[in-house]
Amino acid sequence: MTELRDMPAVMEVCDQLLKDVGCDFVALALQNEVGPDVRWHFASGNENDKYKRITVRFGKGIAGKIISSGSPMMISDFPNDIYGKVTDHPIMLAEKLVSCYAVPLFFNGSPKGVLLVGKRRTYTFIDNEQEMVKESAETLEQILKGHILGGGA
Amino acid sequence: MVHSDSKQLIQSYIIQSQEDEIKRISLELHEGVGQNLYSILTGLQLVETGLNQPHLINYLREMTQLIEKTIQEIRLLSVELHPPALTTLGLLPAIKSYIKLYTSTFGVLVDLESIGEEKQLSEQNRVAVFRVCQEALTNIAKHADTSNVKMSLIWKENELKIMIVDFGGGFAADGIEINPFSLGIAAMKERMLLTGGHCVISSKIGEGTSVEISLPL
């Protein structure tokens, strides 16, 4: 797969989203070209490089649930009121996030990526911020279509 | 004394029963559900070769991918519950296999070294040591704020010693009794005591945490 760090347009969208939402962290996970693995390919505002080694587990944690359900999700006060165990949310642990909002990226009609924004404090993302994340996800779908998934085939 | 002995036996029995059940579920997932899904996957791949309508081929590919993801998750869940290597190959291969899964789950790198010749342990002791190591590593992912862990297994003539050192934030050991994760630590110590071994945890704020496990051979 093309390294996303070599795609300035992707970095620009993520960096801009970080500023517009006023969050601490933005990350993008995508399904690999071959096989079912979904990995975090790009992050902005990260405190370490753990995200590069994390493979998203299908159906587990916020990213895994989004890939399996295709619906946006929010956590406002991690680790309180979460789905599953604390250890099902490795990106929250790795980046010490307390709140996040994430949406799916669709390719060829299926959820194959996740765009996540997070803060290191308790927070509920308001409608306007949620809309900004969704719009950025749509922009990324357009940029990545053809580059990542072989034209969405 | 008699009371304490029977309490220990009951604790061992409860732990053993839980481990047997975990192993059964793990095998059911891997050999039962996993195998069935694999049969469905190969069936779908065969059906795909006979299709010529592009929208159906695309739909089938999506279904195939969904099953692939589910098979992978079932396999990981099964390994997480009870790594097959623990029964078939021994403690060290099971730890190596778990570390791979641990790094890909939490992004934390583990530098593993084994000094001396690996000795055979009873299955009960193998499982106990493995679970204590698993708990120590999970605690690191949850609380330590570190990207690196050093794990050393030292096989001596009469003793196995395991050191797990993180380079994270550490914690104040005196306040540990009132911390909710102290129950996990107490369980680690108790589990090693039941095998006749020990588990010692030391930590200082800013200097990381070390877990030392010892088991008589």
Q: What mean pLDDT comes out for the span A90-99?
A: 96
Q: Please classify residue B178 by burial: count the beta carbons closer than 10 Å to its beta carbon, then call 0-12 exposed, 13-18 middle and 19+ buried.
A: exposed
In angstroms, the separation between the Cα of residue B143 and the nearest Cα of chain A is 8
Give the C-alpha separation, A27 to B197, whole Å.
Answer: 44
CA atoms within 13 A on the CB side of A20: 18
Q: What mean pLDDT comes out for the span A10-38?
A: 89
Contact status of A63 with chain B (Cβ, < 8 Å): no
Per the omega criterion (within 30 degrees of 0), is the bond before A79 cis? yes
**Nearest-by-Cβ selection for B141 from A51, A57, A87:** A87
Contacts of A41 in chain B (CB under 8 A): none
* pLDDT beneath 50, residues of chain B: none
User: Which of A32, A48, A58, A108 to substitute to test the interface with B, most B CBs within 10 Å?
Assistant: A58
CB contact under 8 A, B107 and A108: no
pLDDT category of residue A138 using cuts at 50, 70 and 90: very high
Give the C-alpha separation, B144 to A85, whole Å.
Answer: 17
CATH of span B84-216 = 3.30.565.10
- In this predicted structure, what is the pLDDT of residue B140? 94
Q: Where are the domains of chain A?
A: 4-144
User: Which of B29, B68, B69 to substitute to test the interface with A, most A CBs within 10 Å?
Assistant: B69
Quickly list DSSP for B24-84.
Answer: HHHHIIIIIIHHHHHHHHHHHHHHHHT---HHHHHHHHHHHHHHHHHHHHHHHHHHHHS-H
CB contact under 8 A, A49 and B69: no
B78-111, pLDDT tens digit by residue?
Answer: 988 888 888 889 999 999 999 999 999 999 999 9
- In this predicted structure, what is the pLDDT of residue A152? 40
- In this predicted structure, what is the pLDDT of residue A13? 94
Distance of alpha carbon B78 from the chain centroid: 11
B34-54, pLDDT tens digit by residue?
Answer: 999 999 999 999 998 888 888
Most confident of A31-45, A114-128, B84-98, B184-198: A114-128
**Residue keyed to tokens 């009873």:** B122
Q: What letter represents residue A71's amino acid? A: S
Q: How far is CA B195 from CA A134, B93, B119, B132, in A?
A: 54, 21, 16, 12
- In this predicted structure, what is the pLDDT of residue B52? 87
Q: What mean pLDDT comes out for the span A103-114?
A: 91
A74: left (phi over 0), alpha (psi -120 to 50) or beta: beta
In angstroms, the separation between the Cα of residue B54 and the nearest Cα of chain A is 11
CB contact under 8 A, A90 and B58: no
B128: helix, strand or coil = helix
Contact status of B111 with chain A (Cβ, < 8 Å): no
- In this predicted structure, what is the pLDDT of residue B1? 54
Q: Does domain A4-144 have CATH number 3.30.43.10?
A: no
ipTM: 0.89
Q: What is the mean pLDDT of chain A?
A: 89
pLDDT category of residue A78 using cuts at 50, 70 and 90: very high
Give the C-alpha separation, B86 to B1, whole Å.
Answer: 34
In angstroms, the separation between the Cα of residue A25 and the nearest Cα of chain B is 16
Contacts of B22 by beta carbon, 8 Å cutoff, 6+ apart: B81, B82
In angstroms, the separation between the Cα of residue A77 and the nearest Cα of chain B is 16
pLDDT category of residue A61 using cuts at 50, 70 and 90: confident
- In this predicted structure, what is the pLDDT of residue A153? 36
A119 neighbors A25 (Cβ within 8 angstroms): yes
Contact status of B76 with chain A (Cβ, < 8 Å): yes
The pair of three-digit structure tokens given for residue B97, joined into one six-digit string: 């296999």
CB contact under 8 A, A50 and B106: yes
